[in-house]
Amino acid sequence: MSQTALTRRLPEPADRGRADAPCGMPAQAAGVLPVEDVMAELRTRRTGLSSGEARERLAATGPNAVRSHHVRVLTVLARQLRSALLLLLLVTAAVSFFFGERTDAVIIGVILLLSVALGFANELRAERAAEALHSRVRHTVIAVRDGREAEVDVTDLVPGDVVRLALGQIVPADLRLLEATALQCDESVLTGESEPADKDTAPVSAGTALAELTGCALMGTVVHAGSGTGVVVATGGRAEFGRIALGLGERQPETDFQVGLRRFSMLLLQVAAVLTTSIFVTNMLLHRPLLEALLFSLAIAVGITPQLLPAVVSTSLAAGSRQLARRKVLVKRLVCIEDLGDMDVLVTDKTGTLTEGRIAFQSALDPHGNDSAEVFQLGLLGTEGDLDGAHLGGNPLDSALWQAPGATAAVADDHRRLAVLPFDHERRLTSSLVQRPDGNRILVTKGAPEAVLARCTEVPQQAAAVLTDLFAAGSRVVAVATRPAGPATAITAADESGLHLAGFLVFLDPPKRSAADSLRRLAELGIAVKICTGDNPLVAEKVCRDLGLKVGRTLTGQDIASLGDEQLAVAAQESTVFARVSPEDKARIVRALRRRGRAVGFLGDGVNDALALHGADIGLSVDTATDVAKDAADVVLLEKDLGVLAEGVAGGRRIFANTIKYVLMGTSSNFGNMFSAAGASLVLSFLPMLPSQILLNNLLYDSSQLTIPTDRVDTEQLAAPSHWDISLIRRFMLVFGPVSSVFDFLTFWVMLGIFHAGPALFRSGWFVESLATQTLVIFAIRTRRIPFLRSRPSWPLLAAALGVVALGVVLPMSPLAPALGFQALPAGFFLALAVMTALYLALIEIVKRLFFGRPTRPTSPVRHRGHEHRVQRRASRFSHLGPLAHR
């Protein structure tokens, strides 16, 4: 309640400052007015706008969006040029050009241009892939246009549109409610309040706080219960949520990994600044030319800064979305790839994931466990659909019952259904008022056995034993009860009492054959699987045991209701099965697990799963799910199979594991090169490498690393999410960098002591050795195993690395050598190079084993995501290809 949105008050009626009606009005102003006055001011009607009116208003107000995913070419280019060191080097090269060092200056300029172009091309391609991904995702809402209901893109809504609201839906704009049926909205994204807010159509008094605006449904909030209809009063940045979201920026948010990458780049820049200054001062003390010393120092600094890191990350994410799609996993936004890989707890239903999802009717039993045709008939009469088995409302148990042999014949006589009280998660019952052929009316109630038995006057003692045996066998059971209804013509929940237990309907949904392997795969990925089901706890436990899933504590819906939030957070960690749970229970379980810093995924496919899908770190649904569930999900699986999900998680982790490889290799090699350059500057009478050669070396090395996203990843690297560990990277840089420098210094001795090299030959030797060692070391550092024998790189990475080394060897002998300041190397050098490279890779293996020690299973860090993350995630639904409207 501390947010500014809660403390704002409505202006006095005479000073409302309403916008031009078709452009909308603030929700707080609309909430004060009666519905008809709002409709009049917006110049609309309950039958909605016409298509022409909607187009005119869209042109006037702009899209209902708070994020833009349009690729701006100049912005991508500017990101390549924003390095102060790169620009300073370019300016210095230009100055040296005018002072006569024209060849070197031109070469530096060309290499810088190629480096920028390489980063620009790769990042632009990745950005366009992301744009295409966002453009394919549509979020729609049911609006009334031209007098009839139609699906409309959320971003096309305008003030005056009449919109329908249903359970689990995200409110698409600020609405003044016209109708509300038991409507509640979760407004925590705006107010921070965890309790849902009741909604109605009555106007509020002036001065009412935003959190108490009962007559309005606000953009970005979630329909927690009930349904409603509202007229759009504000869209995009004019809506309450839109103002908050735009305050965080218009572009799609960075992932946590990208934020860490940017911070790490700043750390490297600081290291580069210190070392570059030292090298420059050293060169000046040795009375070297100012421009030469400055160019050399700046080139070294540019070399250590990871210029292609953004391109590598963007390319990895774009390639990752395509790889996941091939594995039947569709992500709606690139940020979802990281969330998918981060997941360490999965909450899922058992139907269709642990079981086949093909429910079959087994038998109808009386309370004593004997077959009963009467119970079978009563079960058919108690279904919510028609008495011919049609229009069953998607209830799989009713469908299985009607598919049983003899179902149609069992109710072929003249039974009439007079009224139905549908199932809900509070009662866990369905009741039907039925008139028999003899004219007598009966109430048939069926549902969860414990709910039905609690409403029966007498229950045979043997019934409890029959139920226990059925549950222990893994059967799904529906209890059926009845009583005379007299002359009743309608039924309410109060009529579901004084019942006589008729018996039980028994169904079977066998465990899925592939589920055991899928669960083992998820366990290997460090993901704890928890089952949320509306079924009996004994049935859920039996299925888990059959599939080898270790069952910890089991909580029922009643248990959950009796626990406070902190108590539930502790209990949820220890529990495997949550049985007889409601939609609100599922959402509470997800919130409780997140309170402990776990990255929680929720897999659901029904309308009742929408609340939990919105509340999870990563919402998962399937292609056959309801529209509400698919709309609420971040990731859609083309098959409801935990194996497909495991592949998706592994794919997400593979992307970031490969990016970490680039970071470790690049920082250690570049730091080693700077260390070597600093040392060489102290003892040589000439620059150890020309600025243009340093930049060329860096360009070639970075080019070879662009294939890292294709590399294979060892299974132990997938056992937990990849997260930034700056201390590990810093230690890695300080250990492996100097190891690289040892062989650089050995190269210096070989060039000076054996080949008596002059400046050109010395630079050629170090260029080739430096490029070869820092490029080939990728095969050692990419894995903690023995390279090639126990861990093979991908073919593209192998080809790129060997190709760059071959190019580096050829350059000093090519026609370009004189222009680049190279000289052909003697044959003996290549023998020395082969020996030094082999020794270097062997030493790296030894140091690697000492550095990492015994293999340990990585653990996921505790992660708490705040309000800003929730706003950013919700805002991504309101994304538009193009500029946003002015507020």
Q: List active site positions.
A: 349
Q: Which amino acid is at 869?
A: H
Residue in 535, 519, 512 with CA at minimum distance from that of residue 428: 535
Helix, strand, coil shares of the chain as percentages rounded to 5?
Answer: 50, 15, 30
Residue 303, amino acid: G
| CB atoms near residue 422 (< 10 Å) | 12
User: Cβ neighbours of residue 729 under 8 Å, at least 6 residues apart?
Assistant: 264, 663, 664, 667
Buried-exposed string 55-67: b where 16+ CB fall within 10 A, e elsewhere: eebbeebbbbbbb
Residue 169 per-residue DSSP state: P
Question: Which residues on adjacent β-strands are paired with residue 143?
Answer: 150, 163
Question: What is the rounded CA–CA span in Å between residue 214 and residue 277?
Answer: 63
The pair of structure tokens assigned to 621 is 């649904």
Token pair listed for 298: 């700046």
Owner of token pair 């090395």: 701
> Distances in Å between the alpha carbon of 854 and those of 333, 660, 723?
37, 20, 20
Query: Do 425 and 608 contact (CB within 8 A), yes or no?
Result: yes
CA pair distance 317, 609, nearest whole angstrom: 28
Query: What is the Cβ-side half-sphere exposure of residue 785, based on CA atoms within 13 angstroms?
Result: 13
Which residues lie below 8 Å from residue 308, measured CB to CB, with a gap of 6+? 118, 119, 122, 702, 705, 706
Backbone angles phi, psi at 165, to 5 degrees: -120, 140
Nearest to 217 by CA among 242, 180, 192, 243: 180
Contact assessment for residue 195 and residue 876, using Cβ atoms and an 8 Å cutoff: no
Burial group, residue 854, by CB count within 10 angstroms (0-12, 13-18, 19+): exposed
* E strand or H helix at 544: helix 537-546
Nearest to 771 by CA among 791, 801, 737: 801
Q: How far apart, in whole angstroms, are the C-alpha atoms of residue 438 and residue 196?
A: 48
Could you tell me how many residues make up the chain? 887
Are 418 and 435 contacting, i.e. CB atoms less than 8 angstroms apart?
Answer: yes
Strands 174-186 and 216-217: antiparallel
Q: CA-to-CA distance for 526 and 400, rounded, in angstroms? A: 37
218: nearest Cα among 202, 204, 197: 197
Q: Residue 659 belongs to what H/E stretch?
A: helix 642-683
- The phi, psi pair for 131, rounded to 5°, reads -60, -45
Give the strand pairing for 600-603 and 618-622: parallel
| DSSP 3-state of 812 | helix
**What are the start-end ranges of the E strands in 516-660?**
528-533, 553-556, 575-579, 600-603, 618-622, 635-637
Say if residue 473 is exposed, middle or buried (CB neighbours under 10 Å; 0-12, 13-18, 19+).
middle
Contact 23, 44 (CB under 8 A): no
**What is the rounded CA–CA span in Å between residue 339 and residue 815?**
50
How far apart, in Å, are the Cα atoms of 635 and each of 347, 351, 357, 643? 14, 19, 21, 15
